[in-house]
Chain A
Amino acid sequence: MRAPARFLLGACGAIAVGALPAACDWRAFDTLQNQAPVLAIDAPSGFPSSSDFGSVLLPVAPPADGSSAAWFLASATEMTGLALIKLDASGGSSALTLTGQALDELGESPVTAMAEIPGTGTAFLGAPTLNSLLTVDLATQTVSAFVLEETLLAPETELGVGVAAGKLIGGATPDLVATSSTSLHVFVAGAVANELVPSPAELAACQMMALSPQLASGDKINRAVVIGNLTGSGSVVAVGTPGAGVAGSVSIFEATASAVTCVGVLLAPAVTSPAGTVNSGFGRALAIGDFDGDGAADLLVGAPPDNVYLYKGPLAFPVSAPTATIPAPSSSAAFGAAMAAIPLDGVKGDEALVSDPGASIDGQTGAGNVTIYTGATLSKMATPTPVLTDHESSTGEAYGSALGALPFCASPPCATGPQLLPLVGTPSKAFVYFTLGPTDPRAM
């Protein structure tokens, strides 16, 4: 072989040998991706829309059999679409689009409100366009009709605009609560036959207003309904009612096996800036947590676009003013549209996560963010970061459209219970944060 040929051959070999180790291992990116602190989840295949996926999310306690470390439901808001997202112990995700006759009967009506029925492995769903309520068995992914419009005691509008589940009465079986645009329905022990509705007098006592048709569509989905021991004397149900041009309110009811009665009402604090503004967003979102770590449930009331109010528990009515007001950052557009209480800093008590899906990020209008507050006074958490964003945020992304606490248990039974992870939704994506808590719960 001539010298030029040997040179070329040698050069080829040298380059190949020198460069090959640099880029051959593409699987390293899979490993790195699994180690990413945040899991981004897209709409699964078969889901009706990839851009209408993460606005309504429902974290559910992981199955006891350990088949998944965590799972949650995601629902479209403009058409019928329901998906079950499962996370494995290492944080990998798989998704399943749910189908079934009950969903088919919804036509194009979306499920816009979801609540976990504790300890049952089922979820309670509201499809207000058709005044319908459904349940879904997560283990079997079976969707069943629960209440149809024609079975209601009285004609209703937008039944299922808000739902909740919990031991409201105090029995062994969780009770189900569903709101319409005008009223509240309690299904004792989850039985359709045990339906209770507050009397008009009780509704009036709690100043529970009808949802204004003038509310923006985003403000009407997933009406805020929470169940918790806010008064220190048993579970109550709190229903938020944002207003349209009027101040919002939060009505609190308690129930017995035979009646639903008003406990009290939280009226929107007055706002002064800008002049003439009313606190119409008050009650858009509610979250129950023990933020000060005193063992009593506290109530966070979101009042977008400007404030979130903390009402320390136990509440003693009449409550004239919130315990603390968390003002929105200056760039806020929808501060308090969604909230969650998740213990993150390892200190007793929950941190408050408040989303602002309309926030501008680096000039990107509507990119959205989630701010974390901690401590009894709910100051911004210093570490690891006070504000969560999509680090590849984009204009109109609406990061924080949904917010929840996702129970994650990599290897059941988790002795101290599943670790709660922030679950943040955008209209097209859901994010699970693994590293904000004291430990990364994934099995690496």
Chain B
Amino acid sequence: MRVPSRYAALLLAAAVSVGAFGISAIARAAEEATPDKALNDAKEDFETAQTFFVRGEYDTAASKFLEAYNKKPYPAFLFNVAVSYEKAKQLEKAKEYFERYLQDDPNASDAAQVRLRLDVIGKLLAPPPPPVAAPPVPGAPSAAPGTPTAPGAPPVPGTSAPAPGAPIAAPGTAVAPGASPAPATPPPAPVLPVLPDIDTKGLVVIDSKPQGATIYLNDKRSGPFGKTPWHGSLESKPVRLILESKGWKAEERQISPRSDKLIDVYIALSEEHYLGWIEITSNVVGADLFIDRKDIGAIGRTPFTGQLKPGKHTIFLERFGYEPLQEEIDVPAGTAIQHNLTMQKSQAGWVTITGKTTEGGRLLVDEKFGCATPCRAQLVPGKHKILVEKKGFEDYETTVELGQGIETSIEVQMSPRPSRAHAVSSSVVALVIIGAGAYVGYLSNQNKNSLKSDISSGQLIDSSDSRFSNGKYEAIGADVLYGVGAIVAATAIYGFFEHGPDSTGVMEHRAITLAPLFGPEGTGLALGGRF
């Protein structure tokens, strides 16, 4: 589909989904503030926490994130608490809140990464291995009081043993108190895992009035994203929200999620009686749906729901392997109607030509133009002669036995055809040589005829007459020229017929089949291929 058509499709989709935005009679959705006071408070705490987080006051940030969580228990808040503690080097707490995050949202999209992180934190929190004591050295100075002692000695309160939750000491620096005055051999530095950098999560909260509206992201062709109320994190890039609810006017919002923002989208949908609501289902799930026009592209796929201007509309359904379907529907204003359309399996077969080298070529089926390659041609089942031709390349020819509902896919590798320029130039040279031969032959003939005439008329010409030798040499010359011309002509002919390596094709037959399909949006038949 070309870009303009895609835009047109989007526009139509918008027009269909959102309803006639430009119609003044339609009241726009009320830009109401979210009625959820707790959410507002939580949002305020979130933003405060982000401020502290940015300043590097991670403990405070963690507290604020926790307060936000206490007001609105979004798992993302717990995640941010954990991140803040991790930044504050309080790994125990970080571990605790990461674990709570997973408990709250076990199916979070980043659950696996969080678990890995917990493993690393666990390793970092594990006690270090005891150092190996070196044999005492006689005469060595005694250890000063309070200096590290040998393992096994009771720890001295207030010394270097890290308390749980304390900041992590430098690896290898902690030793047991009461160690021998002899210098202890420090254990080899353990290779500790490194925590990758982490940042807080942003949060997007989408709610509507009434709740239960279907959320689409960017367009409806990708299917429903969720239903309001919804909260979660989205990638940090602009996204268009589309909210639809039966009997309500669809709404759109453009948002730009960020990792340090809580975006609260609350849309109070306007009740809409002007538009009609259609539900298009089919026995074939995923069939392209066109409304009124096909040239602007499909506006959705089955099953499809959306609002539509009241009145008569033409519905087109298309799906490879099925006969195209066209149906007239009447959409009453403010009413929901449902159409279940049944598509018939196509009686045809298909030949699909693929391959990069086929671009710019054409497919001839039974010596008639099929399509411009690469392409797919629908054919009557049976035996067909397939020819793929492209200027400058060797033709690819084959014969296919096409069955009903069978798609024969041929990946064609076109082989370049040798240049005919040499053959053409050889032809010209051959023509010149043969022409010269003809002329010399003509001269020879003139001599021969002249000699014959003189002999028959009794002229006393002698055997040394120059015409004998001239004519003979001319005849031989003509023969030589003919011979050379013939050789050159043969070369030219060979050049015309010479071809490079054959174009090749790899053929696959695929049966187009139907299978029952059960999905969240409905049931139907799925199209599939058997190879």
A residues lining the B interface (CB < 8 Å)? 1-2, 4-5, 8-9, 11-13, 15-16, 18-20, 22-26, 28-30, 32-40, 42, 384-385, 388, 390-392, 429, 431, 433, 435-436
Q: Taking CB as reference atom, which chain A residue is nearest B464?
A: A40
Q: CA separation between A37 and B468, bound complex, in Å?
A: 13
Supposing A12-B430, A40-B463, A391-B460 touch, asked if A23 and B440 sit within 8 A by C-beta, the answer is yes
Any A CB within 8 A of the CB of B384: no
Q: Taking CB as reference atom, which chain A residue is nearest B479?
A: A24
Chain A residues lying within 8 Å of B474, measured Cβ to Cβ, are 23
Any A CB within 8 A of the CB of B437: yes
| Interface membership of chain B positions 477-491, coded 1 if the CB is closer than 8 angstroms to chain A and 0 otherwise | 011001001100100
A24 and B482 within 8 A (CB) = yes
- Distance (whole angstroms) from the CB of A35 to the closest CB of chain B: 6
Supposing A32-B455, A429-B464 touch, asked if A12 and B431 sit within 8 A by C-beta, the answer is yes
Q: Taking CB as reference atom, which chain A residue is nearest B441?
A: A23
Q: CA separation between A54 and B209, bound complex, in Å?
A: 135
Chain B residues lying within 8 Å of A385, measured Cβ to Cβ, are 460
Excluding A26-B444, A26-B476, 14 further A-B contacts by CB distance (< 8 Å) are A5-B424, A8-B428, A8-B431, A9-B489, A12-B492, A23-B441, A23-B482, A26-B471, A29-B448, A29-B475, A38-B460, A38-B461, A40-B462, A431-B462
* 3 A-B pairs with least C-beta separation: A23-B441, A26-B475, A40-B464
Supposing A2-B420, A9-B493, A19-B438 touch, asked if A25 and B475 sit within 8 A by C-beta, the answer is yes
Chain B residues lying within 8 Å of A30, measured Cβ to Cβ, are 472
Any A CB within 8 A of the CB of B197: no
Chain B residues lying within 8 Å of A435, measured Cβ to Cβ, are 458, 460
Any A CB within 8 A of the CB of B388: no
Q: Taking CB as reference atom, which chain A residue is nearest B485?
A: A16
16 A-B pairs whose Cβ atoms sit less than 8 Å apart in the complex? A5-B427, A9-B427, A9-B489, A12-B430, A12-B431, A16-B489, A20-B441, A34-B463, A36-B462, A36-B468, A37-B455, A37-B458, A37-B459, A38-B463, A392-B464, A429-B464
Q: CA separation between A1 and B286, bound complex, in Å?
A: 47
Q: CA separation between A36 and B447, bound complex, in Å?
A: 14
Q: CA separation between A23 and B441, bound complex, in Å?
A: 4
B residues lining the A interface (CB < 8 Å)? 420, 423-424, 427-428, 430-431, 434-435, 437-438, 440-442, 444-445, 447-448, 451-452, 455, 458-466, 468-469, 471-472, 474-476, 478-479, 482, 485-486, 489, 492-493, 496-497
Q: Taking CB as reference atom, which chain B residue is nearest A34?
A: B463
- Distance (whole angstroms) from the CB of A437 to the closest CB of chain B: 13
Q: Of the candidates B438, B448, B469, B478, which one forms a contact with A15 in the assembled complex, judged by CB atoms under 8 Å apart?
A: B438
- Distance (whole angstroms) from the CB of A57 to the closest CB of chain B: 16
B420 and A5 within 8 A (CB) = yes
B475 and A36 within 8 A (CB) = no
Q: CA separation between A246 and B216, bound complex, in Å?
A: 145
B461 and A8 within 8 A (CB) = no
A24 and B431 within 8 A (CB) = no
Q: CA separation between A375 and B475, bound complex, in Å?
A: 46
Q: CA separation between A12 and B441, bound complex, in Å?
A: 16
Q: Taking CB as reference atom, which chain A residue is nearest B455?
A: A35
Chain B residues lying within 8 Å of A16, measured Cβ to Cβ, are 434, 482, 485-486, 489
A26 and B461 within 8 A (CB) = no
- Distance (whole angstroms) from the CB of A427 to the closest CB of chain B: 15
Supposing A16-B489, A23-B442, A28-B448 touch, asked if A5 and B423 sit within 8 A by C-beta, the answer is yes
A23 and B460 within 8 A (CB) = no
- Distance (whole angstroms) from the CB of A290 to the closest CB of chain B: 25
- Distance (whole angstroms) from the CB of B226 to the closest CB of chain A: 62
B424 and A4 within 8 A (CB) = yes
Chain B residues lying within 8 Å of A4, measured Cβ to Cβ, are 424
Q: Of the candidates A1, A18, A23, A431, which one forms a contact with B445 in the assembled complex, judged by CB atoms under 8 Å apart?
A: A23
Chain B residues lying within 8 Å of A431, measured Cβ to Cβ, are 462
- Distance (whole angstroms) from the CB of A12 to the closest CB of chain B: 5
B478 and A391 within 8 A (CB) = no
Q: CA separation between A11 and B433, bound complex, in Å?
A: 13
Supposing A23-B442, A29-B471, A36-B455 touch, asked if A15 and B460 sit within 8 A by C-beta, the answer is no
A23 and B475 within 8 A (CB) = yes
Q: CA separation between A39 and B395, bound complex, in Å?
A: 66
Q: Taking CB as reference atom, which chain B residue is nearest A14?
A: B434
Q: Taking CB as reference atom, which chain A residue is nearest B478?
A: A23
Chain A residues lying within 8 Å of B475, measured Cβ to Cβ, are 23-26, 28-29
A391 and B462 within 8 A (CB) = yes
Q: CA separation between A164 and B493, bound complex, in Å?
A: 73
Q: CA separation between A85 and B413, bound complex, in Å?
A: 77
- Distance (whole angstroms) from the CB of B355 to the closest CB of chain A: 24
Q: CA separation between A9 and B428, bound complex, in Å?
A: 10
B427 and A12 within 8 A (CB) = yes
Chain B residues lying within 8 Å of A22, measured Cβ to Cβ, are 438, 441-442, 444-445, 478
- Distance (whole angstroms) from the CB of B444 to the closest CB of chain A: 5
Q: Taking CB as reference atom, which chain A residue is nearest B475?
A: A26
Chain A residues lying within 8 Å of B438, measured Cβ to Cβ, are 15, 18-19, 22-23
Q: Of the candidates B420, B423, B463, B478, which one forms a contact with A36 in the assembled complex, judged by CB atoms under 8 Å apart?
A: B463
Q: CA separation between A433 and B463, bound complex, in Å?
A: 10
Q: Of the candidates B437, B461, B471, B496, which one forms a contact with A19 in the assembled complex, judged by CB atoms under 8 Å apart?
A: B437
Chain B residues lying within 8 Å of A33, measured Cβ to Cβ, are 463, 468
- Distance (whole angstroms) from the CB of A41 to the closest CB of chain B: 8
Q: Of the candidates B424, B466, B479, B489, which one forms a contact with A26 in the assembled complex, judged by CB atoms under 8 Å apart?
A: B479
- Distance (whole angstroms) from the CB of B183 to the closest CB of chain A: 95
Chain B residues lying within 8 Å of A1, measured Cβ to Cβ, are 496-497
Q: CA separation between A436 and B462, bound complex, in Å?
A: 13
Supposing A24-B475, A32-B455 touch, asked if A388 and B496 sit within 8 A by C-beta, the answer is no
Chain A residues lying within 8 Å of B468, measured Cβ to Cβ, are 29, 32-33, 36
- Distance (whole angstroms) from the CB of A188 to the closest CB of chain B: 42
Q: CA separation between A385 and B492, bound complex, in Å?
A: 56
Q: Taking CB as reference atom, which chain B residue is nearest A23?
A: B441
Q: Taking CB as reference atom, which chain B residue is nearest A39?
A: B463
Q: CA separation between A5 and B438, bound complex, in Å?
A: 22
Supposing A8-B424, A24-B475 touch, asked if A37 and B496 sit within 8 A by C-beta, the answer is no
B442 and A12 within 8 A (CB) = no
Q: Of the candidates A13, A29, A390, which one forms a contact with B472 in the assembled complex, judged by CB atoms under 8 Å apart?
A: A29
Supposing A5-B423, A16-B489 touch, asked if A11 and B431 sit within 8 A by C-beta, the answer is yes
Q: Taking CB as reference atom, which chain B residue is nearest A25?
A: B475
Q: Taking CB as reference atom, which chain B residue is nearest A11?
A: B431
Supposing A24-B478, A29-B471 touch, asked if A15 and B465 sit within 8 A by C-beta, the answer is no
B427 and A8 within 8 A (CB) = yes
Q: Of the candidates A23, A40, A390, A391, which one forms a contact with B459 in the assembled complex, judged by CB atoms under 8 Å apart?
A: A391
Chain A residues lying within 8 Å of B428, measured Cβ to Cβ, are 8
Q: CA separation between A38 and B455, bound complex, in Å?
A: 10
Chain A residues lying within 8 Å of B471, measured Cβ to Cβ, are 26, 29
Chain B residues lying within 8 Å of A42, measured Cβ to Cβ, are 464
A8 and B492 within 8 A (CB) = yes
- Distance (whole angstroms) from the CB of B419 to the closest CB of chain A: 12
Chain A residues lying within 8 Å of B496, measured Cβ to Cβ, are 1, 5, 9
Chain B residues lying within 8 Å of A8, measured Cβ to Cβ, are 424, 427-428, 431, 492
Q: CA separation between A355 and B492, bound complex, in Å?
A: 61
Q: Taking CB as reference atom, which chain B residue is nearest A92?
A: B463
Chain B residues lying within 8 Å of A25, measured Cβ to Cβ, are 475
